[in-house]
Amino acid sequence: MPYKPILLVAGEPNSVFLEIFFKSLKLKKYESPIILIASKNILIKQMKKLKFNYNINVLDWKKPLNEKLNNEKINLINIDYNSKKTFVKISHKTNQYIEKSFEIALRLIANGISNKLINGPISKEHFLNKKFLGITEYLAHKTNAKNYAMLIYNKKLSVCPITTHLPIKLVSKNININLIVNKIKLIDSFYKKYLKIKPNIAVTGLNPHCESINKINEDTTIIKSSINLLKNKNLRVSGPYPADTIFLKNNRNKFNVIVGMYHDQVLTPIKTLFEYDAINITLGLKFIRISPDHGPNQKMMGKNLSNPLSLIRALEFLDN
């Protein structure tokens, strides 16, 4: 096959991910071979429960893979995980299974088999166990990436939070000029390399209306200074803009990306605008990592009602 395979780590086995994976295969054909890294036991049980029927092509990841890939079947690297029930409560008991899945995927990437990784949702509470803020930080640590960023991507508008899963009270203490400048440089490089455009980037302020009653106003001392440095490097960056108005239609239509200072400042509006039509791309790694923009959604497990659009968009983005 002409394209490098897409590695797909299923992640938390007690989630809606395999359901949306089955639906993604049913609704669209992909040119790139797809390799699922998951438990064969769980895969078969969920297919039966959800009434999907796919043949499975079990692979030995330690041997050459390309000639054995077949997109008419599910190409599977089996990770041993035994569960008597199809769906159980999410807990730390799956941590070793998830860790091994990522380790195999990263080894295949290091060996040049692929440069494309999608992972299903992971429980931050149980798998990360407060060691990392999110999978973005986990993978950056695993691959020794020092400068990285989270981009929630939609072809009409994307967003990037400068800080990710931090409590609000810690945000102001963790933003600085270097952090903002480095993340916006990553965004600019990504758009030029993969999308062949020079992006127009808006930056929000930290404080309501970019105003502060404190002696130090971060919008002036940190954010505005960062923007000026980037402008001097010929990047199309402007701001800071008040976060409560930048997402109005006439404002957001002027930009490719809106950068915010904290997670919900930009993720709440982007999810309101596009719902499942967005993907989470990690910038700054030596490969492209994407996750569908949703969590395990335990309440929906087994109901066969979950929307596969975000995973479809992730596969489409890497399908070349």
pLDDT, residue 1, reads 42
Q: 63-72: which pairs have CB atoms within 8 A and are 24 or more residues apart? A: 65/5, 65/35, 65/113, 66/1, 66/5, 66/33, 69/1, 69/5, 69/33, 69/35, 70/33, 71/29, 71/30, 71/33, 71/34
User: Comparing 78-92, 146-160, 207-221, 225-239, which segment has the lowest mean pLDDT?
Assistant: 78-92
- For residue 146, what are its two tokens? 């020092």
More confident residue, 171 or 134: 171
- For residue 91, what are its two tokens? 């807990």
Could you give phi then psi for residue 159, rounded to 5 degrees?
-135, 155
Portions of the chain given CATH number 3.40.718.10: 1-145+285-320, 151-278
pLDDT at 203 over 60: yes
What does pTM read for this prediction?
Answer: 0.90
* 51: confidence class by pLDDT, cuts 50, 70, 90: very high
**Cα 129 to Cα 24: distance, rounded to the nearest angstrom:** 30
pLDDT at 89 over 70: no
* 110: confidence class by pLDDT, cuts 50, 70, 90: very high
- The one-character DSSP state at 155 is S
**Cα 306 to Cα 214: distance, rounded to the nearest angstrom:** 45
pLDDT at 201 over 60: yes
More confident residue, 87 or 317: 317
pLDDT at 70 over 90: no
Percent share of the chain, pLDDT over 90: 71
Q: What is the mean pLDDT of residues 216-231?
A: 95
For residue 164, give the 3-state DSSP assignment. Answer: coil
Q: What is the pLDDT of residues 239-293, one digit of tens each?
A: 999 999 999 999 999 999 999 999 999 999 999 999 889 999 999 999 999 998 6
Domain 1-145+285-320 homologous superfamily, CATH: Isopropylmalate Dehydrogenase (3.40.718.10)
Percent share of the chain, pLDDT over 70: 93
Per CATH, the number for 151-278 is: 3.40.718.10
Closest CA to 113 of 71, 65, 77: 65
**Cα 176 to Cα 261: distance, rounded to the nearest angstrom:** 10
* 85: confidence class by pLDDT, cuts 50, 70, 90: low
Q: What is the mean pLDDT of residues 207-225?
A: 88
* 8: confidence class by pLDDT, cuts 50, 70, 90: very high
Looking only at the bridges linking them, the beta strands covering 56-58 and 74-78 are parallel
Could you give phi then psi for residue 69, rounded to 5 degrees?
-80, 140
Whole-number average pLDDT of the chain = 90
Q: Say which residues have a Cβ less than 8 Å from residue 167's Cβ, sequence separation at least 6.
A: none
CB atoms within 10 A of CB 208: 10
**Cα 185 to Cα 200: distance, rounded to the nearest angstrom:** 12
Q: What is the pLDDT of residues 141-198, one digit of tens each?
A: 999 999 999 999 999 999 999 999 899 999 999 999 999 999 999 999 999 999 999 9
User: Comparing 26-30, 69-73, 268-272, which segment has the lowest mean pLDDT?
Assistant: 69-73
pLDDT, residue 35, reads 96
